[in-house]
């Protein structure tokens, strides 16, 4: 038996189209099923008339979206963290938040974060703890 070396064998071609289709389908699946949002819980008691805390209520009013606040009539900025810490340390009680009309929710979240960072232990929406 002789070996025929003159015939040229064409290699089998593997089509990449189905592989690319599968990769794109997986990519779409993971893109559509994934959530890139970070959710964070905001612990903020809601005022109720039935239960009230015996501690003093210190009114913190958020005046605008720029972070101007009023604590018992004294105007401060959320950017003045050291002064805010001094004011918080001088007062003991429940820090009740009142928000002016037109203020965004993100500004309220910044205020709660700033109060907690400055040392406020109890922060409540409206000034009365449940």
Residue 82 lies in a domain: yes
Q: What is the CATH number of the domain that holds 112?
A: 3.30.420.270
> Per the structure, how many domains does the chain have?
1
Range of the domain at 65: 57-125
Residue 32 lies in a domain: no
Residues in contact with 93: Cβ distance below 8 Å, sequence separation at least 6, in sequence order:
55, 56, 57, 58, 122
b/e map of 60-96 (b: 16 or more CB within 10 Å)?
Answer: bbbeeeebbbebeeeebebeeeeebeebbeeeeebbb
Residues in contact with 83: Cβ distance below 8 Å, sequence separation at least 6, in sequence order:
76
Read off the pLDDT of residues 34-70 as tens digits, 9 standing for 90 and up. 887 777 776 766 655 545 556 678 888 888 888 888 8
The reported pTM is 0.59
Residue 50 lies in a domain: no
Residue 38 lies in a domain: no
What average pLDDT score do residues 86-102 get? 85
Which helix H or strand E contains 19, and what residues bound it? Answer: helix 17-33
Please give the share of the chain, as a percent, with pLDDT higher than 90.
Answer: 8
Query: From CA 44, how far away is CA 53, in angstroms rounded?
Result: 15
Read off the pLDDT of residues 5-44 as tens digits, 9 standing for 90 and up. 677 777 778 888 889 999 999 999 999 998 877 777 767 6
* Sign of the alpha-carbon torsion through 103, 105, 97, 128: positive
């Amino acid at each position: 038996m002789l070996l025929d070396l003159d015939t040229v064998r064409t290699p089998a071609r593997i089509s990449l189209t189905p592989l690319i289709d599968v990769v794109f389908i997986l990519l779409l699946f993971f893109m559509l099923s994934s959530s890139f949002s970070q959710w964070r819980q905001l612990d903020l008691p809601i005022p109720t008339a039935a239960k009230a805390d015996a501690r003093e209520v210190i009114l913190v009013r958020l005046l605008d979206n720029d972070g101007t606040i009023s604590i018992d009539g004294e105007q401060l900025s959320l950017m003045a963290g050291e002064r805010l810490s001094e004011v918080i340390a001088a007062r003991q009680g429940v820090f009740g938040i009142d928000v002016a009309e037109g203020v965004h929710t993100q500004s309220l979240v910044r205020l709660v974060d700033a109060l907690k960072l400055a040392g406020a232990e109890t922060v409540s929406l409206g000034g009365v703890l449940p």
